[in-house]
Amino acid sequence: MASVAFDTLKFAKRLEPAGVSASQAEATAEAFAEATSQELATKADLALLEARLSAKIEAVDAKFGAMETKFGALETKLGALETGVELKLGALETGVELKLGALETGLDLKLGALETRIVLKLGFLVVAILVGIEAFNRYFPPAH
């Protein structure tokens, strides 16, 4: 940054024709010189600062671009994982349905076999009762 050159004598001399006393003009010129004696930014300083800020902004933009790429890759991986999980769940569901179907079929067969055995046993029981009644009637005929 550069400091601005300021001619206090010239400043004071310009105030005097406007009706400002010489002591007031000198005091004003010195106060103004003191206030402006600090370094001020020049157009070149501002251009340099703008260039540095532009470079920083470009670097930040590049990092955001890289982050977007990484997030895109993560999104793709998550999509693939989701698809894999859905396929595995579908296969598991199919497997469970097949096993339940097989269990149901096996249970139906076992219940059918059990029903057949019960019917046969009841049939034999009825036959045995009828044979017993017939035998009882032969050996102990009813009295008429």
User: Cα separation of 12 and 1, whole Å?
Assistant: 27
Q: What is the mean pLDDT of residues 15-24?
A: 87
pLDDT of residue 108: 95
* Domain extent listing, the chain: 1-40, 41-139
Structure pTM?
Answer: 0.44
Q: Does residue 3 register a pLDDT over 60?
A: no
User: Cα separation of 12 and 28, whole Å?
Assistant: 7
Q: What is the mean pLDDT of residues 10-19?
A: 84
In the block, residue with structure tokens 């999509």: 79
Q: Is the model more confident about 20 or about 69? A: 69
Per-residue pLDDT of 58-96, as tens digits, reads 999 999 999 999 999 999 999 999 999 999 999 999 999
pLDDT of residue 143: 78
pLDDT of residue 119: 96
